Structure 1
Amino acid sequence: MLSIVKRILGQIKNDKRSMGLLLFAPLLVLTLLYFILGDSNYVPQIAVYDMNEKFVTELEQNAHVVELNEKPETKEYLEENGIEALLWKDTTGTHIELLEQNSKSATALKAIQDTNKALQPAPAQSELLISYVYETADDNQLDSLSYVFLGVISFFFVFILSGMSFVRERFGQTLERMLMTPISRMDVIGGYTLGYGLLSAIQSVVIILFAVYVLQLSVAGSVSLCILVMILMAFSAVSIGALVSIFANNELQMVQFIPVVLIPQIFFSGLIPIDTIPFGLGNLCYLTPIYYGCAALEKIMIQGKGFMEIWPWIAGSAAFIGVLFFVNVLALKKYRRL
């Protein structure tokens, strides 16, 4: 038994990827969790109209306050100016209008409620009436985060499928034999990407249709646009799976890349609002393909946006696919034996 233990420890010691998985990957994930889910010191921006000066002064202790001379159209104003909440008062009470339910809105709402409590029992304050521009049906939390779950689940399984398949092709020396023929590396990567991409696209269509028509998830916009975004995410996942598999010698090593390649991307999927992440780490989202897909899905499913509003995110996904394709072609050069 001791000899088996010694052999296993020796194998792990000589396997740098396993050592990295045991030591580096957990520290990386915990560090990201610390920065992303810790105290962000995020200060919400709140616009106020027709509120008394005492309330505004107290609110400025908890938020950046923008005072308005007239009440704007709530939806356009909040979207275009990056304001978390619009606060105004009439005879029925104090109205709080927010864009959607997320942690940014919760921070703004807390700032207003704290201000209201601080001024109590001042009689000038009235009942708080809260409403959301994009409010999910029946307050279903799955609906409000459906774009995250759809994007992450699809991306994860496509990454595993494509990566494992590429490793198996290499392990069986199919890829090496193919590269000994006059076929170009670009043709090889293009063939594999298109083949697995088409299978993954079918999976994406099935996932969307099942979610919408069987699980009855709410989609405010076009289901066809959701399918388009999911297909682009599938091709991105295939390309990343292909790239990672080039540096993995077997299926186990492929799995070891998950904590480093996939888990960090989940933090930029929309599960946490990007601009609440401290130290500017939210800008890393532009380096993760899952961000572009989930951001586009959010605008379609929650906000009901059309193609003209989401095309920058679609272009970002397409650009990632193109860049990863050429990186894979270059990386495959190490297996050319001619």
Structure 2
Amino acid sequence: MNPSITLATAWRVLRQLRNDPRTIAMLVVVPSALMILLRYIYDGSPRTFDRIGLSLLGVFPFVAMFLVTSVAMLRERTSGTLERLFTTRLAKLDLLIGYALAFAAATVVQVGVVSLISFGWLGLSAPAGVGWVLVLAMASALLGMAMGLLVSAFARTEFQAVQFLPAVVLPQFLLCGLLTPRAQMVDLLRWLSNVLPMSYAVEGLGRVGQGTVDAVLIRDVLVVVACIVAALALGAATLRRRTS
């Protein structure tokens, strides 16, 4: 890994994001708009908004990052950019770490804006501290980024990349415990929930909402981080020096 090449890759990706207003809107505007919509859906029930809103602070960034990253990497693969880059000194690790750094910077902006709106304007509360919310929301967004990089290898068109959204994201949304407690699910669904990473992000945010900072919360953060690393490692294995 060459740090200068890695940073150059990150800067290239950031320039591409900066010059794409639609992507900026997807990453920053859409999650914030959805939180505002949710606040007024539960206008007469602030406790419900606090409970669901905290969890969705992990879900919305995950979905946005998954979609944007999978399409962005697919463009690199199908346009021949990735193949040309690999004729230089760029290594797989340089590319992946560069992407991770670029989208980590985008994640800071994304989570910062939606959290500022949620806690400053919409009145969302986090008894265990806003810091834990930011950690889990950013980890969830980076998880979406890592999984987006991974699934882009299995799509040939942008439409196919978008099709992975219901296949990969919706099962996690349904089984993460947001709609019904995981402990009340039948055994098979509870087992599936236990192996899906979004479950741990939502569980961690739920504990923050309860004002509980304990070993379970720390475990949830570590599980999400481990899943990010695993997804990036699997993504590296799918990077080929020639486009099929």
User: Shorter-chain TM-score category?
Assistant: 0.7 to 0.9
Deviation (angstroms), 1:220: 1.2
2:126 maps to 1:212? no
2:72 maps to 1:165? yes
CA distance in 2: counterparts of 1:171 and 1:235, whole angstroms:
23
2:124 maps to 1:253? no
Unaligned stretches of 5+ residues in structure 2: 1-43
Could you state the TM-score of these two structures normalised by the residue count of structure 1? 0.55
For residue 281 of structure 1, what is the aligned residue in structure 2? 189
Could you state the TM-score of these two structures normalised by the residue count of structure 2? 0.76
For residue 290 of structure 1, what is the aligned residue in structure 2? 198
CA distance in 1: counterparts of 2:119 and 2:75, whole angstroms:
34
For residue 329 of structure 1, what is the aligned residue in structure 2? 236
CA distance in 2: counterparts of 1:151 and 1:235, whole angstroms:
10
Deviation (angstroms), 1:306: 2.5
Which one is further off, 269-278 or 316-325?
A: 269-278
2:138 maps to 1:235? no
1:305 alignment partner AA: T
Which one is further off, 233-242 or 267-276?
A: 267-276
> Is contact 2:66-2:147 (8 Å) kept?
yes
For residue 13 of structure 1, what is the aligned residue in structure 2? none
Deviation (angstroms), 1:194: 1.9
CA distance in 2: counterparts of 1:154 and 1:241, whole angstroms:
12
2:218 alignment partner AA: W
For residue 310 of structure 1, what is the aligned residue in structure 2? 217
2:67 maps to 1:176? no
CA distance in 2: counterparts of 1:193 and 1:246, whole angstroms:
16
Deviation (angstroms), 1:197: 2.4
3-state DSSP class of the match of 1:267? Answer: helix
Deviation (angstroms), 1:322: 1.1
Q: Which has the larger radius of gyration?
A: 1
> Is contact 2:177-2:199 (8 Å) kept?
yes
1:266 to 159, 173, 196: 173
2:131 maps to 1:224? yes
Going from structure 1 to structure 2, the CA distance change for 1:207 and 1:201 (only over 3 Å counts) comes to same
1:299 to 192, 195, 207: 207
Which one is further off, 199-208 or 140-149?
A: 140-149
2:188 maps to 1:188? no
3-state DSSP class of the match of 1:145? Answer: helix
2:229 alignment partner AA: G
Q: Compute the RMSD of aligned alpha carbons.
A: 1.9
Unaligned stretches of 5+ residues in structure 1: 1-136
Deviation (angstroms), 1:235: 1.0
Q: 1:206-259: CA deviations, max 9, x gaps? A: 212211111111211110111011111111110000011121122111111111
1:298 alignment partner AA: G
CA distance in 1: counterparts of 2:186 and 2:58, whole angstroms:
24
Q: 1:6-47: CA deviations, max 9, x gaps? A: xxxxxxxxxxxxxxxxxxxxxxxxxxxxxxxxxxxxxxxxxx
For residue 60 of structure 2, what is the aligned residue in structure 1? 153
1:156 alignment partner AA: V
3-state DSSP class of the match of 1:140? Answer: helix
> Is contact 1:219-1:304 (8 Å) kept?
yes
Residues 8-47 of structure 1 aligned to structure 2 (within 5 Å): none
Deviation (angstroms), 1:308: 4.7
Deviation (angstroms), 1:330: 0.7
What is the total number of aligned residue pairs between the two structures? Answer: 199
> Is contact 2:149-2:232 (8 Å) kept?
no
> Is contact 2:54-2:133 (8 Å) kept?
no
For residue 39 of structure 1, what is the aligned residue in structure 2? none
> Is contact 1:167-1:249 (8 Å) kept?
yes
Q: 1:26-79: CA deviations, max 9, x gaps? A: xxxxxxxxxxxxxxxxxxxxxxxxxxxxxxxxxxxxxxxxxxxxxxxxxxxxxx
CA distance in 1: counterparts of 2:184 and 2:232, whole angstroms:
32
> Is contact 1:171-1:249 (8 Å) kept?
yes
For residue 23 of structure 2, what is the aligned residue in structure 1? none
Which one is further off, 174-183 or 248-257?
A: 174-183
> Is contact 1:180-1:336 (8 Å) kept?
no
* Identity over aligned pairs, percent: 28
CA distance in 2: counterparts of 1:297 and 1:205, whole angstroms:
16
Q: Which has the higher contact order (CA 8 A, sep 6+)?
A: 2
> Is contact 2:175-2:189 (8 Å) kept?
no
